[in-house]
Amino acid sequence: MTPITFADILETADRLSLQDQEELLRILKNRIRAQKRAILVKAVQEAQQEFEQGNCQPATHEQLMEEIFSLPSQSRAILADKLVESLEFDVDSEIQALWITEAKRRRDEIRNGVIQPVPGEDALAQVRRLISL
């Protein structure tokens, strides 16, 4: 039996009707998805087995940082947001209560006209001037 070449397959596909070519393409895409899914499932199962057997080695913080920095910007931003959220839970409740009280006091001073708010750009300009002195 003569092996079928890739060129033979393409020539045969060219002889199919457009509708059959589209159906062939749909079938091939589904098969590729199924193969990729099977590969992923196998990798996850192997990782679970390694974990259960205690074969997983902890990564150093340098390795973690290298991997994190290789992520796309959006993924790093999400991770950074999650890390900041995780730090907020470590806040001392007494300190948090004091800051809430202070924030409410400042809000009330603005609402009652005791002080006038300064636009953010003006405040930053003032800080920059003070720093440059």
Integer Cα distance of 125 and 111 in angstroms: 24
Integer Cα distance of 14 and 62 in angstroms: 53
Is the model's pTM score more than 0.85? Answer: no
Convert the pLDDT of each residue in 3-57 to its tens digit: 999 999 999 999 999 999 999 999 999 999 999 999 999 988 998 898 888 887 7
What pLDDT sits at residue 89? 63
Q: Is 68 exposed, middle or buried (0-12, 13-18, 19+ CB in 10 A)?
A: middle
Convert the pLDDT of each residue in 48-94 to its tens digit: 898 888 887 778 889 989 999 999 988 888 898 888 877 766 667 88
- Domain residues of the chain, as ranges? 1-57, 59-90, 91-133
